[in-house]
């Protein structure tokens, strides 16, 4: 059944969706934690979190140059919207994910080997990198946000603009696909 048919919802401004309603616990979200200080200026946020957001974007698009552009555009959006954004961390993360998705739509997957295999399982990790990059974007984003960024499902759902149940589905399918590829 419809979850909500209140007229007020129809009147809800779009911007509401761009703003996280609650800050996450600091230990749950390093980026969010670093941005939790409300006294932070956008420049301080930028200096502190630029690298980490670029890293996130690289995991999503596997291209440093594009990743940096995505993050810079995210900060530009934040700069323009600063007065309306109560949770810069969530805002920036959503910008990065949306930017990654846009990039994904506009190109074929091409590997740039920004995620070289390391460690004792190099061979398998390299394979997994390839598989991860080839996953549908939202599956990839869900996996990265959950297992790399360590976000709870609710936050992932917010970033991706889906329900938490969908996050679980995306994660499940992403994992299954990676397993399937590994077994080939």
Residues 78-107 touching another protein, rule: CB under 8 A, are 79-81, 84, 91, 94-95, 98-99, 101-107
Q: Are 71 and 91 contacting, i.e. CB atoms less than 8 angstroms apart? A: no
E strand or H helix at 136: none
Q: Which residues, 6 or more positions from 162, have their beta carbon under 8 angstroms from its beta carbon?
A: 138, 170
Q: Is 26 in the site for another protein (CB under 8 A)?
A: no
Distance CA 56, CA 59 (A): 5
Q: Measured from the CB atom, is 33 or 81 closer to another protein? A: 81
**Which one of 76, 86, 111, 113 is in contact with another protein (CB under 8 A)?**
76
Q: Which of 105, 22, 15, 29 is nearest to 60 (CA)?
A: 105
CB of 38 to another protein, least distance (A): 18
Region for 150 from its dihedrals, namely left if φ exceeds 0, alpha if ψ lies in -120 to 50, beta otherwise = left
Q: Please report, as residue ranges, which positions from 31 to 70 form the binding site for another protein (by CB under 8 A).
A: 42-43, 46-47, 50-52, 54-56, 58-59, 68-70
What contacts 154, CB < 8 A, 6 or more positions away? 164
Q: Map the footprint of another protein across residues 125-164, applying CB under 8 A.
A: 125, 128, 131-132, 136, 138-139, 143-144, 146-148, 150, 152-154, 161-163
Q: Which of 15, 37, 65, 113 is the binder for another protein (CB under 8 A)?
A: 15
Q: Which two tokens stand for residue 131?
A: 């598989």
Q: Does 118 bind another protein (CB under 8 A)?
A: yes
Question: Considering the complex, what minimum distance in angstroms separates the CB of residue 164 from another protein?
Answer: 10
> Cβ of residue 184: shortest distance to another protein, in angstroms?
13
- Identify which of residues 36 and 52 has a Cβ nearer to another protein in the complex: 52
| 48 sits in which H/E element | helix 42-61
Q: Residue 24: helix, strand or coil by DSSP? A: coil
Q: Is 75 in the site for another protein (CB under 8 A)?
A: yes
């Amino acid at each position: 059944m419809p979850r909500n048919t209140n007229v007020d919802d129809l009147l809800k401004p779009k911007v509401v969706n761009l703003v996280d309603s609650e800050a996450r616990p600091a230990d749950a979200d390093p980026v969010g934690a670093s941005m939790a200080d409300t006294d932070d200026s956008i420049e301080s946020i930028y200096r502190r979190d630029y690298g980490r957001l670029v890293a996130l974007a690289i995991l999503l698009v596997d291209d440093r140059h594009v990743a940096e552009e995505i993050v810079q555009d995210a900060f530009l959006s934040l700069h323009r919207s600063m007065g309306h954004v109560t949770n810069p961390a969530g805002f920036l993360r959503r910008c990065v994910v949306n930017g990654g998705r846009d990039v994904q739509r506009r190109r074929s997957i091409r590997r740039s080997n920004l995620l070289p295999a390391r460690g004792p399982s190099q061979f398998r990790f390299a394979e997994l990198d390839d598989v991860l990059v080839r996953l549908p974007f939202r599956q990839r984003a869900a996996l990265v946000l959950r297992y790399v960024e360590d976000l709870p499902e609710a936050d992932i759902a917010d970033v991706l603009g889906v329900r938490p149940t969908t996050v679980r589905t995306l994660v499940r399918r992403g994992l299954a696909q990676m397993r399937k590829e590994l077994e080939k």
